[in-house]
């Protein structure tokens, strides 16, 4: 049983569900654990933000913790968590060894959001203008993230593509992985084709793939669309735009930078189409799920639609060539029948691939199995056991060195 279990979530940042898909994902996990009647505590080394959710309102204990400080050991001694969830591999590197020492029987779960090494390799390929290959993938980031996966008892993935990649290409045991995507469902009061206007792009601009996509829109794609649709505007929404994003605003070109928006769903719902020319990235794209939920068709790339297609159908058009991307956007904007079919496909994708009911029971049973059979499960994970040996615990000894240095 999971009731009365204590779960500690170590967040890379404080959850901002209105700012990013990562924030929404974290709230999805917290909500699940609360539904399972678990006591949830959330901690982070990050500075607090004015946009973070108030966790105390949903009865989640929360506090800021220090990096490279034994006070966290005292915290673990006092709390005695049954489960520890690391938000991305960086927090596992920083605190995983402390969990092993202080609460060795706690189940360790890694929440990836996306595979950082894959996103990093794709970004490097775009910068170098070359095909993605093994030399780019097998980076230091790859080594670190893979070791983190092995040191944990379960790794959560939002992308079926990434699950298959880890299993088939890197021989990670399926027992260590669990596919648990971000969820969305069809919203009420969907606006019709005739009730909508303009195009949109949305994204957290701290996230490099979004800034790159915005530059592609500005310089390559939007001028072609605007030539065919001279009265249509492209509305740009997103958290943390910064001056470089704001400087792209141009009324004459119909390139309108709004920045942060209070209700991203409402902004998406009134747009006729969403544009997402993502050239690199990983995981699944929250902006595209939100577009599906309000019936807004999307033109995106193969990277954007990765792991989100259902039976070769997409909620719009997938195109990597910039000129063809623009042409497809114009056609979708004008063609009522194609637009309605794209909208319908989006609803089908949500229902069959991102329906919470499909995954919740399996996740609950997986957690129960981990809690009840942790010793036997860890015996099978030989590689994980080897990686906990002191000779490869560089993060642990770096942290201890920093602590000693700070005493001087």
Domains and CATH numbers, the chain: 6-183+356-407 (3.40.50.2000), 199-353 (3.40.50.2000)
Is pLDDT at 5 greater than 80 in this prediction?
yes
Tell me the average pLDDT of the chain. Answer: 95
Is pLDDT at 391 greater than 60 in this prediction?
no
How confident is the model over 52-63, as a mean pLDDT? 97
Token representation of residue 46: 């990050």
Q: Which residue carries 């942790």 as its tokens?
A: 374
Contact 162, 282 (CB under 8 A): yes
Is pLDDT at 160 greater than 70 in this prediction?
yes
- pLDDT of 24-40, one tens digit each? 999 999 999 999 999 99
Q: What is the pLDDT of residue 1?
A: 66
CA of 228: how far to CAs of 218, 255, 275, 327, 333, in Å?
A: 15, 15, 16, 9, 11
Is pLDDT at 4 greater than 90 in this prediction?
no
* Residues 78-110 as b or e (16 or more Cβ within 10 Å = b): ebebbbbbbbbbbbbbbbbbbbbebbeebbbbb
Give residue 118's pLDDT band: very low, low, confident or very high (50, 70, 90).
Answer: very high
Is pLDDT at 390 greater than 90 in this prediction?
no
| Sheet arrangement for strand 234-237 | 255-259, 234-237, 199-202, 273-276, 298-300, 316-318
Give the chain's length.
Answer: 408
Token representation of residue 310: 């259902």
Is pLDDT at 407 greater than 90 in this prediction?
no
Token representation of residue 379: 């015996």
Give residue 399's pLDDT band: very low, low, confident or very high (50, 70, 90).
Answer: confident
Is pLDDT at 408 greater than 90 in this prediction?
no
- Give the gyration radius of the chain's Cα atoms: 22
Q: What is the pLDDT of residue 32?
A: 96
Is pLDDT at 91 greater than 80 in this prediction?
yes
Is pLDDT at 68 greater than 60 in this prediction?
yes
Alpha-carbon gap, residue 277 to 216, rounded angstroms = 7
CA of 332: how far to CAs of 146, 229, 269, 329, in Å?
A: 41, 12, 16, 5
Alpha-carbon gap, residue 9 to 63, rounded angstroms = 11
Q: At CB < 8 A and 24+ separation, what contacts does 251-257 make?
A: 253/222, 253/223, 253/226, 254/222, 254/226, 254/230, 255/218, 255/222
Alpha-carbon gap, residue 372 to 106, rounded angstroms = 11
How confident is the model over 131-138, as a mean pLDDT? 93
Alpha-carbon gap, residue 321 to 318, rounded angstroms = 10
Give residue 401's pLDDT band: very low, low, confident or very high (50, 70, 90).
Answer: confident
Q: What is the pLDDT of residue 266?
A: 95
Give residue 398's pLDDT band: very low, low, confident or very high (50, 70, 90).
Answer: confident
What is the CA angle 370-83-381, rounded to 5? 45
Quick check: helix, strand or coil at residue 107? strand
Is pLDDT at 392 greater than 60 in this prediction?
no
Q: Which residue carries 């195009």 as its tokens?
A: 199
Stretch among 162-166, 239-243, 357-361 having the lowest mean pLDDT? 357-361
How confident is the model over 287-308, as a mean pLDDT? 98
H or E element, residue 199: strand 199-202
Q: Which of 79, 93, 31, 95 is nearest to 57 (CA)?
A: 31
Give residue 404's pLDDT band: very low, low, confident or very high (50, 70, 90).
Answer: confident
How confident is the model over 250-256, as a mean pLDDT? 98
- pLDDT of 196-248, one tens digit each? 999 999 999 999 999 999 999 999 999 999 999 999 999 999 999 999 999 99
Q: Which of 76, 78, 2, 86 is nearest to 39 (CA)?
A: 2
Contact 346, 292 (CB under 8 A): yes
How confident is the model over 125-146, as a mean pLDDT? 94
Q: What is the pLDDT of residue 388?
A: 80
Helix axes 116-128, 208-216, angle to 10 degrees: 30
């Amino acid at each position: 049983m999971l009731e009365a279990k204590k779960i500690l979530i170590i967040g890379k940042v404080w959850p901002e569900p209105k700012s990013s898909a990562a924030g929404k994902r974290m709230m999805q996990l917290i909500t699940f654990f609360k539904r399972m009647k678990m006591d949830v505590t959330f901690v982070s080394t990050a500075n607090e933000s004015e946009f973070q959710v108030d966790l105390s309102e949903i009865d989640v204990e929360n506090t800021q913790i220090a990096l490279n400080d034994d006070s966290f050991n005292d915290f673990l001694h006092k709390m005695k968590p049954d489960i520890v969830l690391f938000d991305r591999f960086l927090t596992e590197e920083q605190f995983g060894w402390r969990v092993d020492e202080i609460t060795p029987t706690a189940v360790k779960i890694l929440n990836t959001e996306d595979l950082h090494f894959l996103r990093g390799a794709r970004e490097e390929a775009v910068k170098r203008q070359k095909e993605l290959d093994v030399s780019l993938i097998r980076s230091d980031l790859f080594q670190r993230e893979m070791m983190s996966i092995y040191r944990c008892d379960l790794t959560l993935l939002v992308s079926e593509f990434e699950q298959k990649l880890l299993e088939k290409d890197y021989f990670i045991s399926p027992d260590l992985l669990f596919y648990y995507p971000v969820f969305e469902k069809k919203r009420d009061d969907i606006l019709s084709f005739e009730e909508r206007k303009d195009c949109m792009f949305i994204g957290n601009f701290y996230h490099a793939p979004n800034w790159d996509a915005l530059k592609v829109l500005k310089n390559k794609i939007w001028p072609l669309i605007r030539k065919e649709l001279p009265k249509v505007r492209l509305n740009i929404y997103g958290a943390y735009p910064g001056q470089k994003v704001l400087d792209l605003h141009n009324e004459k070109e119909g390139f309108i930078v709004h920045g942060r928006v209070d209700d991203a769903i409402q902004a998406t719902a009134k747009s006729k189409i969403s544009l997402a020319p993502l050239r690199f990235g990983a995981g699944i794209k929250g902006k595209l799920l939100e577009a599906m939920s309000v019936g807004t068709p999307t033109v995106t790339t193969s990277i954007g639609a990765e792991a989100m297609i259902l039976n070769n159908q997409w909620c719009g058009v997938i195109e990597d060539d910039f000129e063809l991307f623009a042409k497809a956007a114009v056609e979708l904007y004008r063609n009522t029948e194609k637009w309605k079919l794209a909208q319908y496909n989006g609803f089908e994708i949500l229902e069959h691939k991102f329906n919470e009911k499909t995954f919740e029971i399996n996740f609950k049973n997986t957690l129960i199995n981990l809690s009840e059979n942790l010793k036997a499960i860890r015996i099978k994970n030989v590689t994980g056991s080897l990686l906990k040996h002191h000779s490869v615990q560089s993060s642990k000894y770096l942290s201890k060195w920093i602590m000693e240095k700070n005493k001087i």
